[in-house]
Chains A and B, each alone.
Chain A
Amino acid sequence: MSKRSVKPFIPALSLLFALLAGSLIIAATGSDPIEVYQKMLRSTFTSGYGIGQVLFRATTLIFTGLAVALPFRVRLFNIGGEGQLLMGAFAAALCGIALPAGTPALVAAPALILAASAAGAGWAMVAGWLKVRRGVNEVISSIMLNFIALAITGYLLTNRFAIPSTVHTPAIVADGWLPDFDTLFDLGWHSPANLSLFVALAVTAGATVLLYRSRYGYDMIASGLNPEAARHAGIDTPRHTLGAMAMGGAMAGLAASNLVLGYKHWFEAGLSTGAGFMGIAVALLAGTNPAGIIVAAFLFAWLDYGGLAVNTLVPKDIFMMVQAITILSIISIPALFKNRLKED
């Protein structure tokens, strides 16, 4: 089999391999893998609450996946999604608290979404600026910026904005809330899934158009594929470095619309639950293809919530292992085939 024909099946093969490895681990803990997987499928596909949970988690991961995938088109590896998400969520919460009650919902919600994406973009542009001006590797700077963002939001939360003896801020103005699926479709799921999912899908479609159908995308992808030729063609490559980082940061910031506007309605410690980092895995699985991001986000959301749902049978950590093994397989399976081809 040639390399080309194997390639599309690598994610599926990897997942299959990871689930098989997972069943071995489950068996080793003394549980029945089939029973565990059955329960996992039941709780994620047959209950409204379970479906809602997967949708909710997928929404966040679509945003944080795009936060990695977009800068990757210009060969920038944005590891800073977590920090950008925190800054975005914190900005959305503070602005939401500051907005006067009675602001029309059509103004309040977009304003807060804008605040979240601007804060995320601004934070990512610090890494972009360091790269353009000082040649600092964006991997290192964006990792470090994660810690700084965590510390700043943590400090401000505990010392300034949290309601005494809690770890969260006051709620944002009710006009800034995004309606959940129960309200939208009269479902009675009682899940956190909300309007943000549609925002995420629209943003993904927008990103696809921007990348593949616009002149900006032509310039941006050219800068990523061959910066020297792009420069010769009169394309301002540093601007695209900054622009791509800003877009990535805005995506991570937008995840706040799901977490703050759609679900918690405030900022709290541990709000992100590592979704910023999980976005890296999502982008890796999708291969930076925007449509693939949606599929990968749903897959990881399913593993994530599925793991929680079978918590009574096996520890959640098992499914974290399955997630990690999936990623490892995606990276190593192509190498496996390459070696095979050489030996032939």
Chain B
Amino acid sequence: MATAVKLSGISKTFGSLKANDNVSLSIEAGSIHALVGENGAGKSTLSNIIYGLLHPDSGTIEIDGKAVKFSSVRQAIEAGIGMVHQHFMLVPTLSVTENIILGKEESRFSLPTKRIGKEIGRLAGQHGLEVDPDALVSTLSVGEQQRVEILKLLYRRARILILDEPTAVLSPPETARLFATLRSLADEERTILLITHKLDEVLTVSDSVSVMRKGSLVGTVPTTSTGKEDLAKMMVGRDVLLRTANAPQAPGKTVLSIDKLTYRSPLGIDKLTGLTLHVRAGEIYGIAGVEGNGQSELLSLLWGTFDRGGKTGGSITIDAQKTLGWNPSEIAALGVSMIPEDRHKSAIIAEYGIEENLILGRHREKAFHRGIGFDRDAVHKNATAMIEQYDIRCAAGANPPIASLSGGNQQKIVVAREMERPQLKLLVLAQPTRGVDIGAIEQIHKRIIDARKSGLAILLISSELEEIVALSTRIGCLYKGAIRHEFSETEVWQGRDRESGFEKEIGMHIT
């Protein structure tokens, strides 16, 4: 088979950081090639170099056997390369057709939308990319918007498609559908470069896989001859426990009760529709669900940060106290910690130092006070202990802004802070490992299970089914604002042994 993309000795340095170090890689035409690696391994840099967004310091690129040197994205597009970014580049106020032809209008004055619409319809039908060509992009679901992005590339006759973390925003059925599309594109001799960190997906869909670590290419292997453990080991550079040991344990008394909880947003949309669940001490209750089914609203009601303009009903009871309508500091004072969904938005202050972030939300604790200010020594000692205990990687001694740390280390800071709250009883975790490397995921999962063993009640909300299955004692399937189905402890216990089948079963209850 012909080689579609051939990279030889690509290097790229940012300041003192070697983002790509002598990377050589061949991708066969008509194949699906996965590129995996931890955050900061250099995947994005490499794909941006292929797409012409960045110029390599050294090395050569060949496309379809011809040496190329892109000085702009436009040249890469002309060479038949297209890219779907993690964050879509669509104009929400324009229709699907208008978005697709944007930048490639055939005439200056007239838009033959009808004819082009037909062409788009044909492409869509061929590859399972159906979407209404006249619909406004703002009315489309995330999955449909992604189809528009792919159609845009096909309309521009791209032969080599780069997809950056395409499944991060998709539900399981949408993911399956995307993979079918990718396969049908590859069958037409198009070449797909899939950038991801989800190893299951790599094994499901790709023909071959390249692993990157710290800027270097560790190796390229045919997918059929590798497995999840091997890939994880190549990514991290050591053996990784993908499944943390999670032994059963008799749960204690109920710590959190949510009864017939309803929430209507200020815009009059019913976000929660009678949600009921109970979490006992010493158990992890996992909520599985596609994003947008009420997770954010449930969290905001639990933590008291919801928009008071909305209407609430039902009750939340934490440790025999009705807490619905309390504010966050009152709820925290009961011994409740929360790790919010969006770390950057709600859990850290980027400009504050590590020490200040390690007391954020816990800065009312007397132990940190002296006079009208803080006891610098106590705050510093707290930081030193947490950095040690939670293996947070940062420059020793100094107190740099938290923004200078990697995502995984930032998340470890949030986890450390919330888990070490004095008299902790209830831990609410939302997407605790989002944007975190495999190595750090392993550590955080171990912490969560240790916390459960020590008798904490834990509510876990995650869009990663794998995470839910690995950690939970019981699993509730969230759909349209209520728990649609609950898997008992025994069911989860048995399901864990037949992982993919069990995940499919959960998938049916959340879509």
| Residues in chain A within 8 A of chain B (CB atoms) | 213-216, 218-219, 222, 225-226, 228-236
Contacts A226-B349, A232-B338 supplied; 12 other A-B pairs, CB < 8 Å: A215-B369, A215-B372, A218-B356, A222-B360, A226-B350, A228-B345, A228-B346, A229-B348, A229-B360, A232-B347, A233-B328, A236-B327
B126 adjacent to chain A (CB < 8 Å): no
Chain B: minimal CB distance from A26 (Å): 43
Contact B346 A229 (CB under 8 A): yes
Q: List 24 A-B contacts (CB under 8 A).
A: A214-B372, A215-B372, A215-B374, A219-B363, A225-B350, A226-B350, A228-B346, A229-B345, A229-B346, A229-B347, A229-B348, A229-B360, A231-B305, A231-B346, A232-B303, A232-B338, A232-B340, A232-B346, A232-B361, A233-B361, A234-B330, A234-B361, A235-B329, A236-B327
Contact check, B328 vs A232: say whether CB atoms are below 8 A apart: yes
Residue B189 lies at the interface, judged by CB distance under 8 Å to chain A: no
Q: Once the chains bind, are B350 and A234 in contact (CB under 8 Å)? A: no
- B363: A residues at CB distance < 8 A: 215, 218-219, 233
Name the contact of A230 in the complex, choosing from B330, B340, B349, B351 (C-beta under 8 A): B349
Does A216 lie within 8 Å of B349, measured CB to CB? no
Say whether A222 contacts B349, CB under 8 Å: yes
A181 to chain B, nearest CB (A): 33
A219 to B349, CA, bound (A): 11
For A225, give its contact among B332, B351, B373 (CB under 8 Å): B351
Q: Which residue of A lies closest to B374 (CB)?
A: A215
Give Cα A198–Cα B350 distance, bound, in whole angstroms. 36
Tell me the minimal C-beta distance from B189 to chain A in angstroms.
40
Residue-by-residue, is B315-349 near A (CB-CB < 8 Å gives 1, otherwise 0)?
Answer: 00000000000011110100000101000011111
- What residues make up the interface of B, taking CB atoms closer than 8 Å to A? 303, 305, 327-330, 332, 338, 340, 345-352, 356, 360-361, 363-364, 369, 372-374
Assembled-state Cα–Cα distance A226/B401 (Å) = 14
Residues of B within 8 A of A229 (CB): 345-349, 360
Contacts of B356 in A (CB 8 A): 218
Q: Which residues of A contact B305 (CB under 8 A)?
A: 231-232
Looking at B349, B352, B369, the one whose CB has the most chain A CB atoms below 10 A away is B349
The docked-state distance in angstroms from the alpha carbon of A213 to that of B356 is 12
Question: In the complex the two chains form, is A213's CB within 8 Å of B372's CB?
Answer: yes
Q: Which residue of B lies closest to A222 (CB)?
A: B349
What are the residues of chain A within 8 A of B349 when measuring CB–CB? 222, 225-226, 229-230
Assess whether A234 is in contact with B338, with CB atoms less than 8 Å apart.
Answer: no
A230 contacts which chain B residues (CB < 8 A)?
349
Q: How many A-B residue pairs have CB under 8 A?
A: 58
Q: Which residue of A lies closest to B332 (CB)?
A: A234
CB-defined contacts of A218 to chain B, threshold 8 Å: 356, 363, 374
Closest Cβ–Cβ distance, residue A211 to chain B (whole Å)? 11
Enumerate chain A residues within 8 angstroms of B352, measured Cβ to Cβ: 222, 225
Chain B residues contacting A228 (CB-CB under 8 Å) are 345-346
Lowest 10 A-B CB distances belong to which pairs?
A: A234-B329, A233-B361, A234-B328, A214-B372, A232-B346, A213-B373, A226-B349, A233-B360, A214-B373, A228-B346
Q: Collect the chain B residues with CB atoms within 8 Å of residue A232's CB.
A: 303, 305, 328, 338, 340, 346-347, 361
**Residue from the set A226, A231, A232 with the largest chain B CB neighbour count within 10 Å:** A232
What chain B residues lie within 8 Å of A215 (beta carbons)?
A: 363, 369, 372-374
In whole angstroms, how far apart are the Cα atoms of A232 and B360 in the complex? Answer: 9
Chain B neighbourhood of A235, CB < 8 A:
329
**How far in angstroms is the closest Cβ of chain B from A288?**
13
Report the separation of the CA atoms of residues A87 and B348 in the bound assembly, to the nearest whole angstrom: 40
Q: How near does chain B come to A344, taking the closest CB pair, in angstroms?
A: 14
Min CB gap A247→B, angstroms = 15
Instruction: Give which listed residue, B361, B364, B372, contacts A216 with CB less than 8 A.
Output: B372
Q: How far does the alpha carbon of A55 sit from the alpha carbon of B8 in the complex, in Å?
A: 69
Q: How far is the CA of A344 from the CA of B345 in the complex (A)?
A: 34
Residue of B nearest to A233 (CB): B361
In the complex, what distance in Å separates the CA atom of A234 from the CA atom of B330? 8
Complex alpha-carbon distance, A219 and B360, angstroms = 9
Give A232 to B346 CA distance when docked, in angstroms: 6
With both chains docked as a complex, state the minimum distance between the C-beta of A81 and any C-beta of chain B, in angstroms: 26
Residues in A whose Cβ lies below 8 Å from that of B338? 232
CA distance A230 to B350 in the complex (A): 12
Once bound together, how far apart are the Cα atoms of A229 and B332, in whole Å? Answer: 14
The minimal Cβ–Cβ distance linking B101 to chain A, given in whole angstroms, is: 30
**Which residues of chain A come closer than 8 Å to B332, judged between CB atoms?**
234
How far, in angstroms, from A225 to B346 measured CA to CA in the complex? 11
| List of A residues within 8 angstroms of B369 by Cβ | 215
Please, which residues of chain B bring their CB within 8 A of the CB of A236? Answer: 327
A228 to B348, CA, bound (A): 9
Nearest CB in chain A to that of B372: its residue: A214
The residue on A at minimum CB distance from B327 is A234
**A86→B360 CA distance, assembly (Å):** 39
Distance, CA A235 to CA B374, complexed state (A): 16
Query: Which residues on A sit within 8 Å (CB–CB) of B350?
Result: 225-226
Shortest beta-carbon distance from A222 to chain B in Å: 6
Please measure, in the bound complex, the distance between the C-alpha atom of A218 and the C-alpha atom of B372, giving whole angstroms: 11
Contacts of A222 in B (CB 8 A): 349, 352, 360
What's the least CB distance linking A119 to chain B, in Å?
26
Most buried by B among A214, A219, A228, A230: A228
A214-B330 Cα distance, complex, nearest whole Å: 22
- With A and B bound together, what is the CA distance between A214 and B372 in angstroms? 5
Q: In the bound complex, what is the Cα–Cα distance between A39 and B351 (angstroms)?
A: 46
Q: In the assembled complex, how far is the CB of residue B305 from the closest CB belonging to chain A, in whole angstroms?
A: 6
CA distance A286 to B349 in the complex (A): 24
Could you say which residues of chain A place their CB within 8 Å of the CB of B330? 234
Q: Complex Cα distance A175/B327, Å? A: 48
Chain A residues, Cβ within 8 Å of B329: 234-235
Chain B residues near A213 (CB-CB < 8 A): 372-373
Q: In the complex, what residue of chain B is closest to A212 when comparing beta carbons?
A: B373
CA distance A132 to B356 in the complex (A): 27
Q: How far is the CA of A231 from the CA of B373 in the complex (A)?
A: 20
CB < 8 Å neighbour of A231 from B328, B364, B372, B374:
B328
